Amino acid sequence: MASSKMSDLRKLSEAEVETKIQDLKRELFDLRFQKATRQTVQPHQAGQIRHQIAQLMTLQREQQA
């Protein structure tokens, strides 16, 4: 997933946000697994994915309020 602006993310429904969070968590798990098995990994990807998850979780909290 490319880096998204918060204004674009705010247009998503609660279900879409939850789906994206789950997809990114799975992607982060796969990335960690690749690192553990010494496969080629781009080191910056983990940080980017964690940042995107944090943005989506913040958005999720805003929608709940």
d(CA 15, CA 10): 12
Write the pLDDT tens digit of every residue in 2-16: 567 888 888 989 999
Please give the pLDDT value at position 40: 87
**Position 49 in a domain:** yes
Q: Which domain holds residue 32?
A: 14-64
Q: What is the mean pLDDT of the chain?
A: 91
Please give the pLDDT value at position 1: 52
**Position 26 in a domain:** yes
**Position 3 in a domain:** no
DSSP secondary structure, 11-34, as one string: TS-HHHHHHHHHHHHHHHHHHHHH
**Position 44 in a domain:** yes
Write the pLDDT tens digit of every residue in 44-57: 999 999 999 999 99
